[in-house]
A and B are shown apart, each in its own frame.
Chain A
Amino acid sequence: MAVFEKPVEVLPEATVLFAGDSGDGMQLTGMQFARATALARNDLATLPDFPAEIRAPAGTTYGVSGYQLHFGSVPIRTPGDAVDMLVAMNPAALKVHLPRVRRGGTLLINVNAFDRRGLELARYETNPLEDGSLEGYQVIPIELTRLTRETLADSGLDKKEIDRCKNMFALGLVLWLYSRPLEPVEQWLAQKFASRPKIRDANLKVLHKGYHYGETHELFAVRYEVRPAHLEPGLYRAIRGVEALALGLIAASHQSGLPLFYGSYPITPASDLLHELSRHKNFGVMTFQAEDEIAAVGAALGASFGGALGVTATSGPGLSLKSETIGLAVMTELPLVVIDLQRGGPSTGLPTKTEQSDLLFALYGRHGEAPLPVLAASSPGDCFYAAYEACRIAVRYMTPVILLADGYLANGAEPWRVPDVASLPPFEVRFATEPNFHQNGEARFLPYRRDPETLARAWARPGTPGLEHRVGGLEKEDETGNVSYDPANHQRMVKLRAEKVARVAREIPPTEIFGDPEGDVLLIGWGSTRGAIEAAVEHLRDRGLRVGSIHLRYLNPLPPDLPEIFDRYHHLVVPELNNGQLVRVLRDAYLRPFVPLNKIQGLPFQAREIETFITELTQA
């Protein structure tokens, strides 16, 4: 086949969205494109968006699964506000995702799926390919189904197996369009289907077919190129939030010398962390799939009592179930890390959609006076450091810690500069081995004697002779840890536990400001919204506004340097993916007119949503 070179247009950045039926393999397709993109050294961010049902009825709008990817030679902070190219495998995918495509954007459409039945299922009254409704977009109609079947006509596969390969056609074509090599996908296919050579070969064949289709077909006048980004030098890999969490926990276990015990009960999106950790048994990781979330956190706490690093993770409803045991961890003053991958709530809510609505629950969701440190991760790669830090704080202060992440962080991926193990913060553990109290020639162990600096109590592992002691949920007498109903003691202990948590603030590094260090607007964010907020700050500054942002890793205790930062701005805006939670905490702590900016749609912020809000606010 004669190959003629087509002109290449260089783009600083692009956003591609693969969408189809949940059975069409769109997540895999998107992930493979992301991988090829990372290997091409672009900066990137991804947003998978899949239906709650495993296999929703084929062809319906609620069965649409999408994978959005924003990549560039410039810094990429979000999965992209507006889509440059939508790959729509069927009418439902077009219907659901067309609103995300920018005017003038490209629609790569599998026209074979636009038959009467397909249109009906997507509830299109007329065919959008024919009724003019796609005017203003660049439509590339492709007979994906037919071309795939043609390619595999003599493959020996049945029709269903053949149709399942059509995502590879789309992938091959998009790889060609963005001047990406095929090798990474080829390697992946070879590995994935190593034991099924027929399937492997069929996928490879269709992948190549798609690639050549771009090369040869006159529909495509140009192809694009996105050059490598200016990234900090070093070794990189693409990492998903759940992978980073798993690595962070393993690193904490490794650096502390504490064996990692991970108890969990499957729930979306936290299950992936269980899947991930259970693969790493050769790091001594103990994973325990419990009978429910209560048992999961209970077992983790039991392991902590035994001197392990007890960790549990969950989402939404699971956090509610863990509440009582977290309270027990507060009372017994044992280290425990609870990771909450937030999702849309309340109740079962939006299981596959992201939200930041568990902040108040993490801060206050226990009976009694039960403060604990709350941390949040701000990007998929940051999940590594956040998990490590959560473990470190839990052990250093002998306290449960809640680490907040969310579905978007867990599933999202970004290039990650691999850290040097030696550069990780020190993580030292000292178990009690000797009595810590001497009186009248008698040596005793007082389990609630505290470190004068951190106020952490002594941690004595069962098995240590002479330090036998009991802990439990009843109020503890100061120092001895005996059961006490003494009124003054209770007040003292409540204050002590609170003070211990407050002292974590002494370790919080100075807050970094992104953008202008003083000016019109300060955006105060936490969690997964970092990218959108910082992208908005950049754009607003380009337009002449003096805007800065800070992003909180520590939500309890709050960093001590916030008030002086607040002083330097005219407006204080708190963007959150909830109905206003951090904003309440800040108002309570600092008594200032913080302005909420809330999005509660199960989707991350788009930078332009924040920009519009700030523009209106400053003009008002």
Chain B
Amino acid sequence: MSDAKRPEENTPRGTRPVMPPGAKPAMPPKARPAMPPGAKPAMPPRARPAMPPGTSPTGDGKPRLTRKDFASDQDVRWCPGCGDYAILATVQRLLPDLGVPRENIVFISGIGCSSRFPYYMNTYGMHSIHGRAPAIATGLKASRPELDVWIITGDGDALSIGGNHLIHILRRNLNVQILLFNNQIYGLTKGQYSPTSEEGKVTKSSPYGSIDHPFNPVALALGADATFVARSMDRDTKHLQEMLRRAHDHRGAAFVEIYQNCNIFNDGAFFQFTERDTKPHRTLFLEHGKPLVFDEGRKGIRLDGLQPEVIDLTDDRWSVDDCLVYDETNRELAHLMARIFFHPELPQPFGVFYREKRPTYEDLLHHQIAEVTARKGKGDLQTLLRSGDTWVIEPEPAEVTP
């Protein structure tokens, strides 16, 4: 959001193509039933402990915080109708539930409409510079592991200028939550195509259509060895809240791509997934240990070799038992699902694609410090200054002056 006056929208509402121009043709249909899906799903993620209403989940007897306690006194200045509002509300509603003392929560963002987010949160926060939030958060989290650090970033912020920092925070696995508000456009700079914009997109900086091939953020995060990768959307706040909660529960870098509507410069970019008419048959909600079904149980996904295909569960040929049972700890399945990307025939997956346990960077860092300290003893400054080859210069005999 940059000023009150908004230029004309670039694309008509609700008439978006189902796939990005230039997307690969669909896979050939196959009839043979697939092998039963390989890996047996691991334990489902832990359930939250039930909390007596009105008390803090920390159990310290302090009055329970509410959504309001997390709203700062600053006016929210996004355009009316912007998807960012729903995400903000979802986060503010979720935080009281998480049981983290408010003073331990920090939001770090880069630059963009989405990155204004920290100003609206009554927590600690930093609205930093374009693309660098992961770097700043890394220093903060590494030096203060007890803080609960959330990174707010946009598709331009995280994937253009900050692409390098994003992949490195993921591989290092700092225990932070990364919320990527993907609106497939540069909002704050008023509507240029972004690294997630589809090929052929007409924007102010691409009047003849963008020739850039877009990133698939989920696949990118998996490629960077992220330990938690999920996708959600602004218009399904229930699902979004669940994804954010799971991201928070995860110990490690939790990457959540959130489809966010920019109603000013890219309205309807995700309508096929978010609107009532098309959502059921265009989306697939991944759930750990559950068969992949969609369209209100009418359709399922099975694997034909390595190819996912849609099966019709309404006729006698297929049943739920033929569907792929999702296992969010299976890297290969995660990659398969991530590759279903604006596919004309396959529904777009949402949910937790992948999670794994891996030591966090800050744990390793402090563990190493503790280990070296245990081995060498706590450093003594004066001893350190005197270390190495030393020699003593004795005072010279006083000179005799006549």
Contacts and interface: CB of A to CB of B under 8 A. Distances in A.
B381 A234 contact: no
B365 A325 contact: no
Nearest to B369: A281
Contact of B132 (A298, A306, A419, A465): A298
Nearest to A258: B143
Contacts of B394: 233
A308 B124 contact: no
A235 B114 CA distance: 58
A468 B101 CA distance: 11
A525 B121 CA distance: 50
B385 A419 contact: yes
Interface stretch (A117-125, A127-135, A282-290, A526-534): A282-290
Interface string A471-484: 11110000000110
A298 B128 contact: yes
A421 B385 contact: yes
A463 B393 contact: no
A518 interface: no
B111 A305 contact: no
A308 B362 CA distance: 15
Given A462-B103, A462-B144, A483-B119, A231 B393 contact: yes
A337 interface: no
Contacts of A294: 132, 135, 165
B126 interface: yes
Given A236-B393, A295-B165, A465 B126 contact: no
Contact of B389 (A35, A250, A296): A35
Nearest to B147: A462
Contacts of A261: 139, 142-143
Interface stretch (B40-48, B226-234, B269-277, B370-378): B370-378
A539 interface: no
Contacts of A332: 126
Interface string B44-57: 00000000000000
Given A231-B393, A251-B381, A473 B128 contact: yes
A507 interface: no
Contact of A291 (B104, B165, B365): B165
A237 B111 contact: no
Contacts of B381: 250-251, 254, 283, 421
Nearest to B110: A473
Contacts of A301: 136, 139
Contacts, number: 210
B125 interface: yes
B74 interface: yes
B164 interface: yes
B368 interface: yes
Contacts of B377: 282
A307 interface: yes
A328 B135 contact: no
Interface string B93-112: 00000000111101010010
Contacts of B138: 288, 290, 295, 298-299, 302
A231 B392 CA distance: 10
A55 interface: no
A184 B136 CA distance: 46
B146 interface: yes
A160 interface: no
B168 A286 contact: no
B61 to A, nearest CB: 15
A461 B143 CA distance: 12
Contacts of A239: 388
A85 interface: no
A394 to B, nearest CB: 15
B143 A306 contact: yes
Contact of A463 (B103, B122, B128, B129): B103
B34 interface: no
B126 A234 contact: no
B123 interface: yes
Nearest to B386: A418
A184 B104 CA distance: 53
Contacts of B60: none
Nearest to A254: B381
Interface in A208-256: 228, 230-239, 247, 250-251, 254
A329 to B, nearest CB: 10
Contacts of B129: 324-325, 327-328, 473
Interface in B339-398: 365, 368-369, 372-373, 375-379, 381-382, 384-396
A472 B124 contact: no
A512 B385 CA distance: 27
B118 A302 contact: no
B369 A306 contact: no
Contacts of B388: 237-239
Contacts of B140: 302-303, 305-306, 462
Nearest to A312: B139
B96 to A, nearest CB: 15
B222 interface: no
Contacts of B124: 462-463, 468-470
B137 interface: yes
Given A232-B393, A466-B103, A468-B123, A263 B118 contact: no
B190 interface: no
A169 B146 CA distance: 57
Nearest to A244: B385
13 contacts: A233-B393, A282-B375, A283-B381, A290-B168, A295-B168, A296-B135, A298-B165, A307-B143, A421-B382, A462-B144, A466-B103, A469-B124, A482-B74
Which 10 residue pairs across A and B have the least CB separation, nearest first?
A: A472-B127, A302-B139, A298-B135, A299-B139, A283-B379, A302-B136, A295-B135, A462-B124, A302-B140, A303-B139
